[in-house]
Amino acid sequence: MNNKVIVIGCKAGGLGVIRSFSDKPVDIIALTYDDFDYAHKSRYVNKWFKVPHPANDQQNFIQLLLEKGPEWNNAMIFDTEDDVAVAISKYKSELTKYYKIVTANWDMMKTFMEKKYAWELCLKSGVPHPSNFLPKNEEEFKKVRNEVKLPCIFKPVRGYEFVEKFKRKNFEVYTFDQYDKYSELCLKENQEVMVQEIVPGSDSNIFKCMTYINSKNEISGMFFYNKIRQNPPRFGVHRVSISAGRNPVVEDLFRKLLNASGYKGFCTVEFKKDLRDGLFKFIEVNVRMPRMISISTAAEVNFPWIIYQDLVNDEQMQFADYKENLYWIEINSDIYNSLFRFYKENFSPIEYLKPYFSKNKTFAIFDRKDIAPYTYQTSKLPRVLFGKG
In a shared domain, residues 44 and 10:
yes
Between CA 190 and CA 136 the distance in angstroms is: 10
Cis peptide bond prior to 54, omega within 30° of 0: no
Print burial letters for 346-370: b (CB count within 10 Å at least 16), e (below 16). ebeeeebeebeeeeebbbbbbbeeb
Residues 210 and 342 in one domain: yes
DSSP letter assigned to residue 232: S
Residue 125 lies in a domain: no
pLDDT of 350 strictly over 80:
yes
Residue 354 clears pLDDT 50, i.e. is over it: yes
Q: Evaluate the omega torsion of the peptide bond into residue 232 and state whether it is cis, within 30 degrees of 0.
A: yes
| Residues 234 and 338 both lie in one domain | yes
Kindly state the helix (H) or strand (E) to which residue 194 belongs, with its residue range: strand 193-197
What does the alpha-carbon distance between residue 277 and residue 273 come to, in Å, rounded to a whole number? 9
Q: Is the pLDDT of residue 388 over 70?
A: no
Partners of residue 268 on adjacent β-strands: 210, 286
The predicted model gives 319-346 an average pLDDT of 93
Which CATH number covers residue 218? 3.30.470.20
Question: If residue 267 lies in a helix (H) or strand (E), which one and from where to where?
Answer: strand 265-273
Kindly state whether residue 126 falls inside one of the protein's structural domains.
no
The residue out of 88, 103, 118 marking a domain boundary is 103
pLDDT of the residue at 200: 86
Residues 333 and 220 in one domain: yes
CA pair distance 9, 80, nearest whole angstrom: 5
Q: Do 58 and 144 belong to one domain?
A: no
Domain that holds residue 211: 203-386
* Mean predicted lDDT score pLDDT of the chain: 92
Q: Are residues 231 and 307 in the same domain?
A: yes
Q: How far apart are CA 242 and CA 351, in angstroms?
A: 13
Cα diameter, the chain: 63
Does the residue 124 lie in any domain?
no
**Is residue 121 in a domain?**
no
Q: Please report whether residue 117 resides in a domain.
A: no
Helix/strand/coil for 341: coil
169 and 41, same structural domain?
no
CATH number, domain with residue 30: 3.40.50.720
What does the pLDDT read at residue 385? Answer: 63
Same domain for 137 and 274?
no
Of 147, 173, 197, which one is at a domain's C-terminal end? 197
Q: Within this chain, do residues 90 and 151 fall inside the same structural domain, yes or no?
A: no
pLDDT at 375: 96
Number of independent structural domains in the chain: 3
**Mean predicted confidence (pLDDT) in 37-47:** 98
Report whether pLDDT(173) > 50.
yes
Q: Where are the alpha helices (DSSP H) in 126-247?
A: 138-145, 159-166, 176-188
Higher-pLDDT residue of 237 and 242 is 242
- Residue 113 forms part of a structural domain: no
Which strands make up the sheet holding 4-8, listed edge to edge? 47-50, 27-32, 4-8, 76-79, 100-101
- Looking at the fold, whether 216 and 186 belong to one and the same domain comes out as no
Residue 284's CB is within 10 A of a number of other CB atoms, namely 15
Residue 207: inside a domain: yes
Q: What is the mean pLDDT of residues 103-113?
A: 88
Tens of pLDDT, residue by residue over 367-378, are: 999 999 999 999
For residues 182 and 221, membership in a common domain is answered with no
Residues 6 or more apart whose CB falls under 8 angstroms from that of 29 comprise: 4, 5, 6, 7, 45, 46, 47, 48, 49, 72, 75
Give the lowest-confidence range in 57-61, 114-118, 194-198, 318-322.
114-118
Q: Report if residue 249 sits inside a domain.
A: yes
- Let me know whether 259 and 368 are in one domain: yes
For CA atoms 100, 102, 104, 106, the dihedral sign is: negative
Q: Last residue of some domain: 197, 216, 248?
A: 197
Cα-Cα-Cα-Cα torsion 190, 194, 196, 201, nearest 10 degrees, comes to: -80
